[in-house]
Amino acid sequence: MPEMQRQTTESTEPTDPQPFRTREPEIAIVVALGYVWAAFNTLIGLLLAVVFYRARGFRWSDGCLEAVGGSFQRDGKTVTRIWGRPGAQTWGWFIVYRTEAHVAKAPLRVHERVHVAQGMVGGPLFLLAYGLHFLIEFAWTARFRPSRWYDAYRRVWAERMAYRIEDEFRRGLRPNAWGANPRYFLGN
Ligand SMILES: [Zn+2]
């Protein structure tokens, strides 16, 4: 993409510092604490992914553990197992993608890593804050709408932030957003 090339020639300083690759010791300690703080959320996601999504292809990529959810055949169609069938789902610093094709989508990777950062700040409280806001939106704001579940989901504060940053990335405003340039350390 032309925007990305221009960015690298103009400046070596990323517009969005990628936290897990910092050289500042103080920031490295805060990031390390973030991984610990979000470990509970990660564990819940791993249990979900292994038991219900039959996830496979576990790998470490761009500071996160990633996997792909399983699928099965029904009436000649492929049905993916991930609940709600989003492109991906984030739990702590674990991201489970719906299919292998979704892993390569840079805007989706950026979106999910916004949730990773949110989880590192909020820890278990992030799940509470997300869940409570979703329930309130589901019960009240979206109660007269037909696409009730989806509308509530899009109104949750964490999603508004993630979709805003994803949109800015799509428009070339955040070429170095976390997850924008995939790097794999395991797997492919
Ligand atoms: Zn999201």
CA of 75 to the centre of ligand 1 (A): 30
Q: Rounded to an integer, what distance in angstroms lies between the CA atom of residue 186 and that of residue 49?
A: 18
Share above pLDDT 90 across residues of the chain, in percent, rounded to a whole number:
65
CA of 115 to the centre of ligand 1 (A): 7
Q: Give residues whose Cβ lies within 5 Å of ion ligand 1.
A: 159, 162
**What pLDDT shows up at residue 22?**
66
CA of 10 to the centre of ligand 1 (A): 31
Q: Rounded to an integer, what distance in angstroms lies between the CA atom of residue 90 and that of residue 179?
A: 13
Q: Can you give the pTM of this predicted structure?
A: 0.85
Sign for the CA dihedral angle at 140, 81, 68, 127 comes to positive
Q: Rounded to an integer, what distance in angstroms lies between the CA atom of residue 125 and that of residue 19?
A: 21
CA of 1 to the centre of ligand 1 (A): 24
pLDDT for 129 beyond 80: yes
Coil, helix or strand at residue 154: helix
Token couple for 145? 């709408």
Per DSSP, what are the bridge partners of residue 72?
79
pLDDT digits (tens, 9 = 90+) for 4-46: 444 444 555 555 656 666 677 888 888 899 999 999 999 999 9
Q: Rounded to an integer, what distance in angstroms lies between the CA atom of residue 60 and that of residue 68?
A: 12
**What pLDDT shows up at residue 143?**
63
pLDDT digits (tens, 9 = 90+) for 46-66: 999 999 999 999 999 989 999
Amino acid at the residue 162? A
pLDDT digits (tens, 9 = 90+) for 93-102: 999 999 999 9
CA of 76 to the centre of ligand 1 (A): 30
Residue-range domain boundaries for the chain: 2-170
